Chains A and B, each alone.
Chain A
Amino acid sequence: MTPKKLPRKEKEEPRIGVYVCHCGLNIGGVVDCARVAEFASGLPGVVLSKHNLYTCSEPGQELIKNDIREHRLNRVVVASCTPRLHEPTFRAACEEAGLNPYLFEMANIREHCSWVHLHDKEEATEKAKDLVRMAVARAARLTPQEVLEVPVIRKALVIGGGVAGIQAALDLADSGYRVYLVEKEPSIGGRMAQIDKTFPTMDCSICILAPKMSEVGRHPNIELLTLSEIEAVDGYVGNFSVRVRKKARYVNASCTACGDCAKVCPQVAPDEFNAGLSMRRAIYMAFAQAVPSTYQIDMNLCLNKHGIVACDKCYQACQRQCIDYSQKDEILNLEVGTIIVATGVDVYDPTPLTEFGYRKFPNVITSLEFERLINAGGPSGGNLIRPSDQRIPKTVAFLQCIGSRSKRSNIYCSNICCMNTIKDALLIKEHWPETKILVFYIDIRAFGKGFEDLFQRARREGVTFIRGVPGEIIEDPVTRNLTLIGEDTLLSQLYRYEVDMAILSVGIEPRRDSPVIQRLLNLSCASDGFFLEAHPKLRPVDTPTSGIFLAGCAEGPKDIKDSVTQASAAASRANILMAQGKVKVEAITAVVDETLCTGCGMCVKVCPYSAIRQDPETGIAQVTQASCAGCGTCVAECPFSAISQRHFTDQQILAQIDAVTEEAPEKKIVAFCCNWCSYAGADFAGVSRMQYPTPIRIIRTMCSGRVSTEFIEYAFRRGAGAVLVSGCHIGDCHYINANKQTEKRVQRLWRKMERLGLDKNRLQLAWISAAEGNLFARKVKELEEILRGVTPEEIEKTKQALVPKKKGKGEPVEA
């Protein structure tokens, strides 16, 4: 279906239809929607104004469609929830009725009004009126836009070769796409390969994973890149170019994994795969089932450094002559259409919790170390032995919630530790039924399918569950036995248990190097450090950056089943994009007015995507539409107003400022929020019902880089009490680093205000992420304090002082 070409009438009179949504009681319970609708009917250009219970419902959408046809509406404004939720819904409805989707505008009176002003109905209604006024003013100036379609490369990149990455790669490869699977470790398999058994079915972990791993290794559509790391990512949905460093393995592909080399290697180090419980050589294979089944040399450990061969024992031992000390890192440039992030988790290190004596007492171990001990392929051959004297322990204690649910470590529940402990306890009972097992817990969370059954089985088999985590562990220096001191909360009695071995059931946390991936891919992180999904309920595997999807524990702690489910979901989402072969890019790109451009090159300097280049002869700027991401930084920077951003023009934003400052401007805070972080942060404050003062009026831009000094000065000239500019944290900008320009610009304006003797406190800059609703609420409260201190004289003075000296926004700021 091709979109219908609409006849463009340049000087068409706006005929705006306004729909105020009650959203049941979500909005209607606080805001007087009828009054808002009545108010809207009096606004310029509005020919029709209605209020209904659920505008997003099928009848609600039908109503809009009918009105467009019947009343010849050429603009539609819906005042309801955040545009981040239903803008696509209403745009589609407009398009079906023959209206260009870019002639639709939303006023957010739920997340930004009714939900955050629950107890001030009168003020909330007034604010809703203002928000509608702003939306109508902007709508009147909207123009139809043609959506650009870009091709999607039918190749995918999967980052991380754990069970989630494996599943996603296999799903996509089976669908017929070429898949690059990048893993930084020498073998794929991830955490699941380290675990002995899986809950709740007690399947052998590696037995079910190994077939999948070898399938990846031999799949014709999968190119497996182990010992590889992502170094740079460029481009946009459908057309990413990725630079990958494939580190030297020093052993070539003809290795048969015979192991002759490792036998003669003189260098040893703790084995990472066995959680440091055994030793490996400098030339080694990660583990027996490793894919690719190839040895590699750890050059940090090997004696042959910098091309000088000091020891060639392995070279001599290798009959097939696979070893090459001079191998170099390879740089690969991949072109892919979609990216799946499955970077997984690290295990919490309990060393800081000194009261448990981990690393001080040999018989205190973590649950991951336990997995390696009980595993037949592990260092002890599957015998549960205590590290101090290699005896099989008679009494074993498990301590729950170590490194989870705590402000001292990670505040979230790690999701897997309860069931993992129950599984581990049953495993011990299976092999050594006489062992006494004590589980010290706070809450047992057995929430999944088959989990409660397993919990009951453990209790029936005599595992003792004691409610109350020990305060400390002390060790007998002679026997190396441990005494746990704590309180049984159900008996309100102190206990002292002597055990042979204590297992700390440690939580899981984001990969220590996940900030690198976050920066490379422009992802957002929640406050706990896990990657943020586009919507927690309805888009759980999408990221805010289109074309990039999440799978497995990178998004949050989850067990194997959930990781696999999510991986398949991510693969299917990527499949949708690649199957269509093309994707629509939002019509928000920058366009140059060649008659105004003087070729100064300012825009070229600030563009984060290098999407602008200057004509070599005339110097006039040219924007590559497919590369432009639509941040609008160049528009704000252009001293001659020669660039404008489609759908976010100066006129549209100035009209919104006009609307805010039409009545009692001194009592208003004009806030510019970027779509990805601070606007989303404000939405989050709404969803969490964080209450904050009413004077704030939010104007959405795609990036804070779009906010020009002219907007801020204009707001002050109109008498606004305070102005807030907010965006993503520095380093987290959705448009690489466009917010650096915002920072510079605001600082420039602060200096100017200072020079003119104005109160620079009235202009605030805040970095607020999508997860920091509380920070947003706090900032608004702070601004309200500032607002209260602003005198009418100060406002008048600012109005006078900021009058532009010459026409146009190119006034020199630095005299």
Chain B
Amino acid sequence: MKRISKMDGVLLLNEIRFTLHEERPPLHEERKVLIMIQSIWELFNKEELFECYQCARCTGSCPAAMVMDSYGPRETLLRCLNLGQEAVITDERVWYCTTCHVCEDRCPQEINISELLTAIFNLAAQRGNLPEKIKFAVDMIAKTGRGLIVNEKVMKDRQKLSLPPLDPLNLDELEGIFKKTGLHEVIDLS
């Protein structure tokens, strides 16, 4: 399978942006009061982490750790606890997590590791510590409703496979979801 290069995406995105800007105001204008998260402990019960005894079954099970050396939920958890949240949210490595929940499934202490990572993502994003690639993907979804780029080539491939063409999505609904989940409060989607 041929990978879509980043440049393709950016070009396409600019195109979409250009067309969208005329019709709809940017999301942040509709924002209500921005709830700033001060600490990840507002989102996650710190006491739960004290139960971790660093058995490393989480990292041992982590598909992200298998491909990206130097990353692992065990270490993230320990750094969070001992070095404080700043050490974690400024670290780009946390974004390797795909929230597949395997770590959580196998954790002997039943710590909600995925929830912790989600809290870290939220705080990091709010502080602007969002890697470009992630920001790009979020923007894509916000603007097109899809995480993958739909261009001419994709359309042709679909035709070959006799799949129906992809229609533009209803973005109002998506925007509603973003608002309800508070995504636009965490990430500036302008």
In the bound complex, residues from chain A placing their C-beta under 8 Å from that of B106 are 355, 471-472
Contacts of A468 in B (CB 8 A): 55-56, 59-60
* Residues on A with beta carbons closer than 8 Å to the beta carbon of B66: 485, 494
Do B53 and A442 touch (CB < 8 A)? Answer: yes
Chain B residue with minimal CB distance to A484? B60
**B contact residues around A488 at 8 Å (CB):** 56
* CB of A362 closer than 8 Å to a CB of B: no
Q: How far is the CA of A492 from the CA of B60 in the complex (A)?
A: 11
Closest to B70 in A: A492
**Shortest beta-carbon distance, B76 to chain A, in Å?**
11
Question: Given B54, B60, B69, B110, which contacts A486 in the complex, CB threshold below 8 Å?
Answer: B60
Q: Which A residues between 345 and 360 are near B, CB-CB below 8 angstroms?
A: 355
Interface residues in B, total, Cβ within 8 A: 23
Q: How many angstroms from the CA of A724 to the CA of B7 in the assembled complex?
A: 71
Report A280 CB to chain B, min CB distance, Å.
36
Restricting to A399-424, which residues have a CB under 8 Å from any CB of B? 401, 405-409
Chain B nearest Cβ from A766, distance in angstroms: 26
Q: Are A489 and B108 in contact (CB under 8 A)?
A: no
Known: A407-B108, A408-B108, A443-B53. A471 touches B61 (CB 8 A): yes
B184 neighbours in A (Cβ, 8 Å): none
Give the contacts of A449-483 with B (CB-CB under 8 A): 467-472
Q: Does A62 contact B (CB under 8 A)?
A: no
The reply to whether B109 and A407 form a contact with Cβ atoms under 8 Å apart is yes
Cβ distance B129 to chain A, nearest Cβ, rounded Å: 22
0 or 1 for each of B62-96: is its CB under 8 Å from A? (1 = yes): 10011001101011000000000000000000000
Contact of A485 among B58, B60, B70, B108 (CB under 8 A): B60
Question: CA separation between A619 and B56, bound complex, in Å?
Answer: 72
B110 touches A407 (CB 8 A): yes
Contact B58 A442 (CB under 8 A): no
Chain B residue at minimum C-beta to C-beta distance from A486:
B60
- Which of A355, A401, A492, A493 sits near B55, CB closer than 8 Å? A401
Are A405 and B108 interface neighbours, CB within 8 A? yes
Chain B residue contacts of A271, Cβ below 8 A: none
Residues of B within 8 A of A471 (CB): 56-62, 102, 106
Whether B61 pairs with A489 at a CB distance below 8 angstroms is no
CA distance A467 to B109 in the complex (A): 17
Alpha-carbon distance A406/B53, docked complex (angstroms)? 10
**Is the Cβ of B54 less than 8 Å from the Cβ of A494?**
no
Pairwise interchain contact B110-A408, C-beta atoms closer than 8 A: yes
Q: Which of B53, B56, B59, B108 has the most chain A CB atoms closer than 10 A to its own CB?
A: B56
Residues A442 and B54 in contact in the complex (CB < 8 Å), given A401-B108, A405-B108, A487-B65: yes
Can you list, as one digit per residue, whether each of B161-190 has a CB less than 8 Å from chain A (1) or not (0)? 000000000000000000000000000000
Q: Flag if A442 contacts B75 (CB, 8 Å).
A: no
- Residues from chain A with a CB closer than 8 A to the CB of B61 are 355, 471-472, 485
Provide the main secondary structure of the chain A interface: loop
Q: Chain A residues near B65: list those with CB within 8 A.
A: 487, 494
| B56 adjacent to A487 (CB under 8 Å) | yes
A residues in contact with B107, CB < 8 Å:
408
B54 touching A489, Cβ below 8 Å: yes
In Å, the complex CA distance between A747 and B30 comes to 56
Q: Are A489 and B53 in contact (CB under 8 A)?
A: no
CA distance A468 to B56 in the complex (A): 5
Taking each of A409, A469, A472, A494, which has the highest tally of chain B beta carbons within 10 Å of its own beta carbon?
Answer: A494
Task: Looking at the assembled complex, report how far the CB atom of A353 sits from the nearest CB atom of chain B, in whole angstroms.
Answer: 8
Q: Which residues from B are CB-within-8-Å of A406? A: 108-109
Taking CB atoms, residues of chain A closer than 8 Å to B108 are 401, 405-409
Q: Are B110 and A442 in contact, CB atoms less than 8 angstroms apart?
A: no
A470 touches B59 (CB 8 A): no
State which of B57, B62, B102, B110 has its C-beta within 8 Å of the C-beta of A469.
Answer: B57
Beyond A405-B53, A442-B53, whether A486 also contacts B109 by CB under 8 A is: no
Contact with B along A126-156 (1 / 0, CB 8 A): 0000000000000000000000000000000
Q: Shortest distance in angstroms between A336's beta carbon and chain B's nearest beta carbon?
A: 43
B57 surroundings in chain A (CB, below 8 A): 469-471, 486
Question: Which residues from chain A contact B54 at a C-beta distance below 8 Å?
Answer: 442, 489
Contact B60 A487 (CB under 8 A): yes
The docked-state distance in angstroms from the alpha carbon of A27 to that of B62 is 51
Q: List B contacts of A408 (CB < 8 A).
A: 107-108, 110
Which B residues are CB-close (under 8 A) to A401?
55, 108
- Cα separation A401 to B66 with both chains bound (whole Å): 23
- Asked whether B56 lies within 8 Å of A486 as measured between CB atoms, the reply is yes
Pair B55/A494 contact, Cβ less than 8 Å: no
Within 8 A of B (CB), among A416-443: 442-443
* Distance A489 CA – B109 CA, assembled complex (angstroms): 17
- Taken residue by residue from 17 to 59, chain B's Cβ proximity to chain A (1 for < 8 Å, 0 otherwise) reads as 0000000000000000000000000000000000001111111
- List the B side residues contacting A409 at CB < 8 Å: 108
| Complex contacts, B110 vs chain A, CB 8 Å | 407-408
When C-beta atoms are compared, the residue in chain B nearest to A407 turns out to be B110
Provide the bound-state CA to CA distance between A494 and B57, in Å: 11
State the CA gap A443–B65 with chains docked (Å).
Answer: 23
Give min CB distance, A29 to chain B, whole Å. 26
A401 to B75: give the CA distance in the assembly, Å. 20
- 1/0 per position for A237-248, CB-CB distance to B under 8 A? 000000000000
Chain A min CB distance to B88 (Å): 15
Q: A470-B60, A472-B106 are in contact. List 16 more A-B contacts (CB 8 A).
A: A355-B61, A401-B108, A407-B109, A408-B107, A408-B108, A442-B54, A443-B53, A467-B56, A469-B55, A469-B60, A472-B61, A485-B61, A487-B74, A489-B56, A492-B75, A494-B72
Residues of A within 8 A of B (CB): 355, 401, 405-409, 442-443, 467-472, 485-489, 492-494
15 sample A-B contacts, Cβ–Cβ < 8 Å, listed by A number = A355-B61, A401-B108, A468-B60, A469-B56, A469-B57, A469-B60, A470-B57, A471-B102, A486-B56, A486-B60, A487-B56, A487-B74, A492-B70, A493-B69, A494-B72
Q: Which 8 A-B pairs have the closest CB atoms?
A: A471-B60, A471-B61, A406-B108, A486-B60, A468-B56, A487-B59, A487-B56, A442-B55
